[in-house]
A and B are shown apart, each in its own frame.
Chain A
Amino acid sequence: MNPAKLIKMANQIGAFFEAFPDREQAVAGVAAHIQRNWEPRMRTALQDYVAQNGDEALMPIVRDALRIVQKVVL
Chain B
Amino acid sequence: MNDLDYGTPAVDSTREVTLNIDGVSVSVPAGTSLMRAAVKAGVMIPKLCATDSLAPFGSCRLCLVEIEGRRGYPSSCTTPAEAGMTVRTQTPKLAELRRNVMELYISDHPLDCLTCAASGDCELQSTAAQVGLREVRYGMHGANHFVAARKDISTPYFIHNPAKCIVCNRCVRACEEQQGTFALTISGRGFASRVTAGQGESFMESDCVSCGACVNACPTAALIEKSAVKLGSAERDVITTCAYCGVGCGFKAEMKGTQVVRMTPWKDGKANEGHACVKGRFAWGYATHKDRITRPMIRAKTSDPWREVSWDEAFAYAAKEFRRIQQKHGRNAVGALVSSRCTNEEDYLVQKLVRAAFGNNNVDTCARVCHAPTGYGLGQTLGTSAGTQTFKSVEKSDVILLIGSNPSEGHPVVGSRLKRSVRAGAKLIVIDPREIDMVTAPHARATHHLKLRPGTNVAMLSALAHVIVTEGLLNEQFIAERCEKQAFDDWREFAARPANAPEAMEAVTGVPAADVRAAARLYATGGNAAIFYGLGVTEHSQGSTAVIAVANLAMATGNVGREGVGVNPLRGQNNVQGSCDMGGFPDIYPGYRHVSDSATRELFEKAWSVSLQPDPGLRIPNMLEAALDGSFKGLYCQGEDPAQSDPNTQHVQAALAAMECVVVQDLFLNETAKYAHVFLPGASFLEKDGTFTNGERRISRVRKVMPPLAGKADWEVTLGLAAALGYPMHYEHPSQIMDEIAHLTPTFAGVNYDKLEQMGSVQWPCNDKKPQGTPLMHVDAFVRGKGRFFNTQYVPTDEKVTPRFPLLLTTGRILSQYNVGAQTRRTENVQFYGEDVLEIHPHDAEERGIRDGDWVGIQSRAGDTVLRATVTERVQPGVVYTTFHFPESGANVITTDNSDWATNCPEYKVTAVQLVKVEQPSAWQMRNAREDKEQKKLLAGAKR
A, B assembled together: yes
- Report which of A13, A19, A37 forms a contact with B791, defined as CB distance below 8 A: A19
Extra contacts besides A16-B793, A19-B494, A41-B626 (11): CB < 8 Å: A1-B625, A2-B628, A12-B795, A16-B545, A19-B791, A33-B902, A36-B616, A39-B586, A39-B616, A41-B631, A42-B618
Q: Which of B's residues lie within 8 Å of A, judged by CB? A: 332, 361-362, 490, 493-494, 541, 544-545, 586-587, 594, 596, 615-619, 622, 625-626, 628-629, 631, 790-793, 795, 798, 897, 899, 901-904
A37→B596 CA distance, assembly (Å) = 10
- CB contact under 8 A between A36 and B594, given known A13-B902, A16-B902, A18-B793: yes
- B902 to A2, Cβ gap below 8 A? no
CB contact list, A39-58 vs B, under 8 A: 39-42
- A1 to B626, Cβ gap below 8 A? yes
7 of the cross-chain contacts (CB-CB < 8 Å) are A2-B625, A16-B901, A18-B793, A19-B792, A21-B493, A39-B618, A40-B332
A43→B587 CA distance, assembly (Å) = 14
A20→B902 CA distance, assembly (Å) = 15
Q: How far is the CB of B743 from chain A (nearest CB, A)?
A: 26
- A12 to B901, Cβ gap below 8 A? yes
Residues of A within 8 Å of B790, CB to CB, are 19
A21→B495 CA distance, assembly (Å) = 13
A36→B903 CA distance, assembly (Å) = 11
A28 touches B (CB below 8 Å): no
- B616 to A1, Cβ gap below 8 A? no
- B622 to A15, Cβ gap below 8 A? no
A72→B792 CA distance, assembly (Å) = 31
- B625 to A5, Cβ gap below 8 A? yes
How many A-B residue contacts, CB cutoff 8 Å?
A: 69
Residues of B within 8 Å of A2, CB to CB, are 625, 628-629
Residues of B within 8 Å of A68, CB to CB, are none
Instruction: With CB as the reference atom, state the residue of chain A lying closest to B594.
Output: A36
Q: How far is the CB of A39 from chain B (nearest CB, A)?
A: 5
Residues of B within 8 Å of A18, CB to CB, are 793
- A38 to B490, Cβ gap below 8 A? no
Q: How far is the CB of A74 from chain B (nearest CB, A)?
A: 8
- A36 to B622, Cβ gap below 8 A? no
Instruction: With CB as the reference atom, state the residue of chain B lying closest to A40.
Output: B615
- CB contact under 8 A between A9 and B626, given known A37-B616, A38-B616: no
Q: How far is the CB of B461 from chain A (nearest CB, A)?
A: 14
Residues of B within 8 Å of A33, CB to CB, are 902
A21→B899 CA distance, assembly (Å) = 25
Residues of A within 8 Å of B901, CB to CB, are 9, 12-13, 15-16
Interface residues on A, range: 20 to 34
Residues of B within 8 Å of A72, CB to CB, are 615
Residues of A within 8 Å of B628, CB to CB, are 2
- A20 to B791, Cβ gap below 8 A? yes
A72→B613 CA distance, assembly (Å) = 13
Residues of A within 8 Å of B615, CB to CB, are 39-40, 72
Residues of B within 8 Å of A1, CB to CB, are 622, 625-626, 629, 631
A8→B544 CA distance, assembly (Å) = 16
A33→B545 CA distance, assembly (Å) = 14
Residues of A within 8 Å of B594, CB to CB, are 36
A57→B586 CA distance, assembly (Å) = 28
Q: How far is the CB of A18 from chain B (nearest CB, A)?
A: 7
A9→B541 CA distance, assembly (Å) = 10
A4→B629 CA distance, assembly (Å) = 13
A42→B586 CA distance, assembly (Å) = 13
Q: How far is the CB of A41 from chain B (nearest CB, A)?
A: 6
- CB contact under 8 A between A19 and B616, given known A39-B622, A41-B332: no
4 cross-chain pairs, A with B, having the tightest CB-CB distances, nearest first: A12-B901, A19-B793, A19-B791, A39-B618
Q: How far is the CB of A68 from chain B (nearest CB, A)?
A: 15
A16→B596 CA distance, assembly (Å) = 23
Q: How far is the CB of B626 from chain A (nearest CB, A)?
A: 6
- Report which of A9, A21, A22, A41 forms a contact with B904, defined as CB distance below 8 A: A9
- Among B545, B586, B622, B798, the one with the most A-chain Cβ atoms within 10 Å of its Cβ is B622
- B587 to A37, Cβ gap below 8 A? yes
Q: How far is the CB of A52 from chain B (nearest CB, A)?
A: 16
Residues of B within 8 Å of A19, CB to CB, are 494, 790-793
Residues of A within 8 Å of B897, CB to CB, are 5
- Report which of A8, A13, A15, A37 forms a contact with B793, defined as CB distance below 8 A: A15
- Report which of B490, B618, B625 forms a contact with A21, defined as CB distance below 8 A: B490
Instruction: With CB as the reference atom, state the residue of chain B lying closest to A39.
Output: B618
A37→B588 CA distance, assembly (Å) = 10
A37→B375 CA distance, assembly (Å) = 13
Q: How far is the CB of A16 from chain B (nearest CB, A)?
A: 6
Residues of A within 8 Å of B631, CB to CB, are 1, 41
Instruction: With CB as the reference atom, state the residue of chain B lying closest to A45.
Output: B629
Residues of A within 8 Å of B544, CB to CB, are 16
A1→B587 CA distance, assembly (Å) = 19
Residues of A within 8 Å of B586, CB to CB, are 39
Q: How far is the CB of A31 from chain B (nearest CB, A)?
A: 13
Instruction: With CB as the reference atom, state the residue of chain B lying closest to A42.
Output: B622
A37→B902 CA distance, assembly (Å) = 8
Residues of A within 8 Å of B541, CB to CB, are 12
Instruction: With CB as the reference atom, state the residue of chain A lying closest to B585.
Output: A37
Residues of A within 8 Å of B902, CB to CB, are 13, 16, 33, 37
Q: How far is the CB of B129 from chain A (nearest CB, A)?
A: 66
A16→B543 CA distance, assembly (Å) = 11
Q: How far is the CB of B376 from chain A (nearest CB, A)?
A: 9
A27→B586 CA distance, assembly (Å) = 24
- Among B544, B897, B899, the one with the most A-chain Cβ atoms within 10 Å of its Cβ is B899
Residues of A within 8 Å of B629, CB to CB, are 1-2
Instruction: With CB as the reference atom, state the residue of chain B lying closest to A21.
Output: B490
A51→B352 CA distance, assembly (Å) = 36
A21→B492 CA distance, assembly (Å) = 12
- Among A5, A16, A20, the one with the most B-chain Cβ atoms within 10 Å of its Cβ is A16
A36→B545 CA distance, assembly (Å) = 18
Q: How far is the CB of B147 from chain A (nearest CB, A)?
A: 66
- Among A13, A42, A72, the one with the most B-chain Cβ atoms within 10 Å of its Cβ is A42
Q: How far is the CB of A1 from chain B (nearest CB, A)?
A: 6
- Report which of A9, A21, A39 forms a contact with B617, defined as CB distance below 8 A: A39
